[in-house]
Structure 1
Amino acid sequence: MKTFDRITRDPAMLGGQPTVRGMRLTVRRVVEAVALYPNRDDLFAEYPELEPEDVRQALEFAAQNLDDRVIALELA
């Protein structure tokens, strides 16, 4: 299994959710922010504490922790 040196968990902070470098910024929020700010310049302007490697590891961590189940979607 891959080691994520920027993803941390502290049971005393945010209910033990995975965060970035011990900040009060969850992996989930980083993934949401990537979707909200597809332009990385805008993303880093909104979250100046983030570094490109933080984003990369957050996305990879989230991807590795998803189930491989099929979710049926309605046709448009």
Structure 2
Amino acid sequence: MAGFPRIAVDPQICGGRPVVAGTRVRVTDVLEMLAGGATADEITADFPYVSHEDVRAVLTYAAAQADHAVVLAAE
């Protein structure tokens, strides 16, 4: 995926949902763990094939997806 080399989307993996590249760990899984209070250290301990850089990449990807153009009302 252009701009996000640590994030992959493949229709054959997790139904095409974004995952940490080379794994079946979905972006949403990592985000839910972080939202639930898990630290990056805890996530990487539980999933040793996910690195701290992967966790940062998930956050960067999520931030980019949440960004949108500002829509102004017509005057």
**TM-score calculated relative to the size of structure 2:** 0.74
Structure 2 counterpart of 1:48:
48
**Matched-pair contact (CA < 8 Å) for 2:20–2:27:** yes
Q: Which consecutive unaligned segments of at least 5 residues does structure 1 have? A: 69-76
Superposed CA offset, 1:2-48 (max 9, x none): 70110001111111111101311111111111223443322222222
RMSD in angstroms over aligned alpha carbons?
Answer: 2.0
Unaligned runs of 5+ in 2: 69-75
Percent identical among aligned pairs is 39
- Give distance in 2, aligned partners of 1:10 and 1:39: 27
Structure 1 residue ranges (4+ consecutive) displaced by more than 4 angstroms after TM superposition: none
- How many pairs were matched up? 68
Q: CA deviation at 1:67?
A: 5.5
